[in-house]
Structure 1
Amino acid sequence: MRQIFIATLVLSLSLAVFGQVDRKCLDCICKIESGCRPLGCAWDVNSNSCGYYQLKQVYWIDCYSPGGSLEACSKDKACSEKCVQAYMARYGTRCTGGRAPTCQDYARIHNGGPNGCKITATQGYWNKIAACYNSG
């Protein structure tokens, strides 16, 4: 019985942490996307990108639409981070083969969508995030 309890506890803790982008990675994505400022919405690659994390409508829908609207959520840093975390909890393991996602996985998914870590074009974005992430 005790072993079952311990196994359940470990699984629960793993699920609580799995899919969570670490603070340093999240801060670097914010910095690269907007200088970590609540930018207004602007046209970017076939749709508007908004706020701290340059969220798009489909991304916001996939993160379960927090904050009432894309525009409202994207201007609120806490709401935007909640959205990014929910998106990564949903898609973060798409490319990992069962291992825990890394900042590279999260960054490339953020930039290229659910399968972004498989898209060659997201490598340049990751290089920008990596420079920030590895700079101290």
Structure 2
Amino acid sequence: MNFILVVFLLFVSTCYGAIDNSCLACICQVETRCQQAPPKWDVDDFSAGYYQIKPDYYTDCGKPGNSWLICVNVKSCADTCVRNYMSRYGTYCTGGRTPTCQDYARIHNGGPTGCRNPATLGYWQKVQQCLNANG
């Protein structure tokens, strides 16, 4: 009985607040049309790959894979990085509620507290259009 309870709690803690596949796919679509992308200068550092991930974001997601530039251009590794980042920061500005795709999109675009930054609303609108189009 205790084993079943432990497995259930692990399942719930793993699933609670996790970014769903449709949200992840639309973030990818908005960033690069979900294509590999070489490094380019973006505000204060280089970003690259499917999700336009910067080196600091890669560090915050736990540095999966072999290196920043390799990981961000391997779709499964880039997905893992974004999922890890959202697991780490997804509740930073939600007041305890489960994060929504809007929260995740704005955090991806604006950092850990990006969902509070009005400058990320335009990015969210692009992700929302993708979600609506893919229904």
Q: TM-score, normalised by structure 2?
A: 0.92
1:110 Cα deviation (Å)?
0.3
Question: CA 1:7 to 1:98, structure 2 compared with 1: closer, same or farther past 3 Å?
Answer: farther
3-state SS in 2 of match to 1:104: helix
- Structure 1 match to 2:96: 98
- Structure 2 match to 1:61: 59
Q: 2:15 aligns with which of 4, 17, 29?
A: 17
- Structure 1 match to 2:85: 87
- Structure 2 match to 1:28: 26
Q: Is residue 99 of structure 2 the alignment partner of residue 132 of structure 1?
A: no
Q: Is residue 76 of structure 2 the alignment partner of residue 78 of structure 1?
A: yes
Give the fraction of aligned pairs with identical amino acids, expressed as a percent: 51
- Structure 2 match to 1:121: 119
Cα distance in 1 for residues equivalent to 2:55 and 2:17 = 21
3-state SS in 2 of match to 1:81: helix
1:129 Cα deviation (Å)?
0.3
Cα distance in 1 for residues equivalent to 2:70 and 2:131 = 28
121-130 or 4-13: which moved more?
4-13
Query: Superposition RMSD on alpha carbons, in Å?
Result: 1.5
1:13 Cα deviation (Å)?
2.3
**Which whole-Å deviations, capped at 9, do the CAs of 1:22-68 have from their partners, x for residues lacking one?**
11101100000001001111001111110000000100000011112
| Length, aligned pairs only | 134
Cα distance in 2 for residues equivalent to 1:25 and 1:50 = 19
Cα distance in 2 for residues equivalent to 1:75 and 1:19 = 25
3-state SS in 1 of match to 2:46: strand
Cα distance in 2 for residues equivalent to 1:103 and 1:132 = 12
3-state SS in 1 of match to 2:64: coil
**Which whole-Å deviations, capped at 9, do the CAs of 1:61-116 have from their partners, x for residues lacking one?**
00011112110001100000000000001000111111111100100000000000
